[in-house]
Structure 1
């Protein structure tokens, strides 16, 4: 910019030298405070020389005072409209009218700092959970049927110039501040997010903020959802975007391998892919098959589904540790799988065809099987909630997630859902509607 700036006391000779050296086509004249007070073009100088025949007169006597300029941050649209008036070089001034640049053809509006964002939906497990444990499906195969709900875990990420790391959870009110990647230790403070960073091994410092629409321990797969959101944010800064399978695998690695938290695979795939999915698990590949559910069927499901919060967090760690402790050939687990997998297949067919009348009964069957394989997953308190809903007119339901607490998902026939809501709320329980998500993990970049 200095190449085109002249003080008001400079001469026409100085202006000609500036124009020749810069090739910009204009010079910008400034006062003692560095503020732009006029411009001189090639044509202005030629006119001045012809009139005065003196190159040593001050530019202030010949400059155009009422000149065209744009403010710092001007949009490309604004500049193009000036170009349409055959103006090809336009000074850019800051808020104090100090010149900071020139807008020329090809001008790009300045952008702020790039940040990445992501959101991942929580899942509703419908059937097949338990067969997605590695030790089981390596020998027997497994499947699961799930969908996602329009409640999200969110992450926002920006790069830092230094190697520092800052993580902040808005929901928990907790933060982590580190000088570098090697300082990461697991100490009970946002360890899940630290694990994602460990497996991703970013080469730059960053600020990361996370939040969630759901509380921990609700049985909605929130851990997998927040991991997917975080990993998705980092993917936005890569030259090669991570595909959905790879993001799900990184999420699984962070929770199950890095932190050694027991559990299956369905949560990670469900949240990343979103919508209704039938997932096959075997020794070679885990394959996600999206289901093309009609809009009519999806809308009807939203009207018939009902969530009821039990008021207790689920007991994931205790129950999943017990599941992992079972050998792959444990007879009770094999028997459970032989019964639950056909239900998942039958439920898939019902959803694809839009035949929903038996869906509640199938959910009821999965809940009974789940209680038999994990008696600790229920309690007299939970059984009373379930019985209240069934007596009021629910077709069936199940406790979501591992068990022990969290949310019940109930399925009701038309005209009976209101009765179920009233019965549960009379007992002091909180009921909630279900709005289904169809998009899964979404990532994007924006500018501050």
Structure 2
């Protein structure tokens, strides 16, 4: 038995980072990049390392390059924690599991450390192969919360539900994480939107490494917990922007959302310290008339553009900054 499952990168279109603070967001899937987990039956349970898990290097320079690209933690911890939480979920819910063992291996071409949800993609793909291997069905609304618990509770990685929701639903999704729904249902309220309602959108990400999202989320979390007025107010404003963009898309006014995306970024810039490289990407995109904001917590941006001529101008401005620019594939070919 050979099982292979993918989970794709994502872009937070608007509303982030309010998803971790009872806010609202809209995200879309980016099928150009994915994590894939392969499972096959084996005599013992084994998790095989990927290149980002290596601990043997030919030189100190190679070790440094590896750490800069992948950080100090690879995917092994994600798979271990994912398998553990899956087992505990089945035990807690009285789901029978057969006793056969398996080997897991993974690969990912999602650019690391640029806020495109590479870690949650690995865990989501892991749960998908485990669900098929054990014949377990889990409500699609619940899976994102289970995947988030792997990162939050097992590994201490601060994050919100947004990434895991879009990686399970795919396409384009409006997400409402209001406190009442989360506490009563254990998940947010998710509405799938028509991808055709989007105007032309682009993704751009630095090929130089940026800081991990944990740095920004830890800072915001502490300020939120302390009740810092600017941060609490910003969460409401980001949620409002997501609601307004959702209404525009549903009303067939997708071409008007660009200024709201800009407002999303401008608000973040007012309350957070941002690296100059990230600001330069956004300002470079805006110079040619495109809108721009972070896809996540820095390292990649998303925005709208008018036509192919503007897209080529985007590339001309951003590529000299070591930035990759692409038109994301949202729907399956």
Task: Give me the TM-score of the superposition, normalised by structure 2.
Answer: 0.81
1:251 and 2:144 equivalent?
Answer: no
Cα distance between partner residues in 2 of 1:417 and 1:210: 34
Residues 48-98 of structure 1, C-alpha deviations (whole Å, 9 max, x = no match): xxxxxxxxxxxxxxxxxxxxxxxxxxxxxxxxxxxxxxxxxxxxxxxxxxx
Q: Secondary structure at the match of 1:116?
A: strand
CA contact (8 A) 2:19 2:25 kept: yes
Deviation at residue 122 of structure 1 after TM alignment: 1.3
Cα distance between partner residues in 2 of 1:164 and 1:353: 51
Residues 266-285 of structure 1 correspond to what in structure 2 (within 5 A)? 266-281=162-177, 282=179, 283-285=183-185
1:345 counterpart (243, 257, 267): 243
1:126 and 2:13 equivalent?
Answer: yes
2:215 counterpart (301, 318, 325): 318
Go from structure 1 to structure 2 and tell me whether the alpha carbon gap of 1:288 and 1:212 turns closer, same or farther (over 3 Å shift).
farther
Q: Which structure is richer in relative contact order (CA contacts within 8 A, separation 6 or more)? A: 2
Give the aligned partner of residue 436 of structure 1. Answer: 330
Residues 15-55 of structure 1, C-alpha deviations (whole Å, 9 max, x = no match): xxxxxxxxxxxxxxxxxxxxxxxxxxxxxxxxxxxxxxxxx
Give the aligned partner of residue 280 of structure 2. Answer: 384
Deviation at residue 234 of structure 1 after TM alignment: 0.2
2:101 counterpart (205, 209, 212): 205
Deviation at residue 426 of structure 1 after TM alignment: 4.0
Task: Give me the TM-score of the superposition, normalised by structure 1.
Answer: 0.61
1:196 counterpart (82, 103, 106): 82
Please identify which structure carries the higher helix content: 2
CA contact (8 A) 1:269 1:288 kept: no
Cα distance between partner residues in 2 of 1:293 and 1:164: 41
Cα distance between partner residues in 2 of 1:317 and 1:157: 29
Give the aligned partner of residue 229 of structure 1. Answer: 125
Please identify which structure carries the higher strand content: 1
Q: Secondary structure at the match of 1:430?
A: strand
Give the aligned partner of residue 60 of structure 2. Answer: none
1:425 and 2:297 equivalent?
Answer: no
Deviation at residue 310 of structure 1 after TM alignment: 5.5
Deviation at residue 385 of structure 1 after TM alignment: 2.6
1:413 and 2:293 equivalent?
Answer: no
Structure 1 residue ranges (4+ consecutive) displaced by more than 3 angstroms after TM superposition: 426-429
CA contact (8 A) 2:8 2:167 kept: yes
RMSD: 2.4
Aligned length, in residue pairs: 298
Cα distance between partner residues in 2 of 1:410 and 1:373: 21
Deviation at residue 264 of structure 1 after TM alignment: 1.3
CA contact (8 A) 2:53 2:73 kept: no
Q: Secondary structure at the match of 2:255?
A: coil
Give the aligned partner of residue 117 of structure 1. Answer: 4
Cα distance between partner residues in 1 of 2:192 and 2:46: 40
Query: Which structure has the bigger radius of gyration?
Result: 1
- Where do 5+ consecutive residues of structure 1 fail to align? 1-113, 176-186, 440-448
CA contact (8 A) 2:203 2:300 kept: no
- Where do 5+ consecutive residues of structure 2 fail to align? 56-71, 88-96
